Amino acid sequence: MHLLTVLLEAILLEASVQAVDISAKKKSGGVAFIGDELNQTPFPEWLTDFTGMTQWPGLVPPYIPLDFIDMDKIPDYNSYSQGVCDANTRDACSFDCDQCLAHDDISTCRKLSQTFDDGPSPATLKLLDYLHHKSTFFTLGINSVNHPDIYHEIQDAGHLIGSHTWSHAYLPSLSNEDIIAQLEWSIWAMNATGNHIPKWFRPPYGGIDNRVRAISRQFGLQAVLWDHDTFDWSLVTNNPFKTEQEIYNDVALWKLVENRGLILEHDGARKTVDVAINILDLLGEDQLSVSECVGGIDYIREF
């Protein structure tokens, strides 16, 4: 089964298990909604005026043209599926294929620091109870509008929130227009839910090349990758890449050898959150948010 399908199914399964009332699973504006529909982020009037829509989209958001996006600035590299790494020459600078980093990519930190992808989810609340330093959460737009209360809990705790696209698409496989859609709807979800515009952006699966960068930069986004991968997400599949103990052994080694870098983790499932809490016990609270790692701003704009 394709990695994208496995991960999305795991996230949706976890959300359904943790929902307060699974029987309340509904459709709200095209979004597969689990929980109390009345708690969804209201679709704002300003977004209706701009898009002509009245409801949040489903997993595949529609492309809405933006006058500040210059298509002529996007290089003509081939799109490709995850794991297909011969579609372009190496000057495409693919991170997931070639571990290539652009000059403005963030991939490490002076202190060994956890980062969390795929929320907000019900599991995020447990993680927030244990975090006592400013951390970084890369949220999915579709989850943000479905769990605005949890999104606000992340905000209220003082953590940094970045974009993880609208619905966890592997961006290099998409057309330019569909990449724009994944980013614009993620940004609009964060604006409508959290009253801010993100500066930091983590591409799902590390799927970024110079075509994706050329688009994300026009939104003012800066890519955040990692130099330590726990593979924690695979613990919620039937074929984990590593055992839980192997993950802890890796973290202990990273701390012993370098004690610096950005660790990729996930808050989309209870299992990965439990692992994150144990990793926090290993590392302690002397960690930084991504913006603190590089001395940058938290958001492009806060309202």
Q: What is the DSSP string of 200-260?
A: EE--GGG---HHHHHHHGGGT-EEB--SEE--GGGGGSSS-SS-HHHHHHHHHHHHHHT--
pLDDT confidence band for 38 (50 / 70 / 90): confident
Pick the CATH number of 98-302 from 3.40.50.300, 3.20.20.370, 2.60.120.10, 3.30.70.2190: 3.20.20.370
Q: Is 131 helix (H, G, I), strand (E, B) or coil?
A: coil
Task: Give the chain's length.
Answer: 303
Q: What is the pTM of this model?
A: 0.90
Q: Which residues are catalytic?
A: 117, 266
| pLDDT tens by residue, 122-172 | 999 999 999 999 999 999 999 999 999 999 999 999 999 999 999 999 999
User: What's the pLDDT at 207?
Assistant: 98
| pLDDT tens by residue, 237-257 | 988 999 999 999 999 999 999
* pLDDT above 60: residue 33: no
* pLDDT above 50: residue 18: no
* pLDDT above 70: residue 5: no
- Report domain extents, the chain: 98-302
Number of H helices, E strands in the chain: 11, 11
* pLDDT above 80: residue 13: no
Q: In the block, which residue shows the tokens 């959290």? A: 194
Residue 156 has which token pair? 């209220």
User: What's the pLDDT at 14?
Assistant: 46
| pLDDT tens by residue, 199-213 | 999 999 999 999 999
Determine contact, residues 248/212, Cβ cutoff 8 Å: no
For 209-224, what is the mean pLDDT? 98
Determine contact, residues 11/22, Cβ cutoff 8 Å: no
The angle subtended at Cα 176 by Cα 172 and Cα 182, nearest 5°, is: 75
* pLDDT above 90: residue 7: no
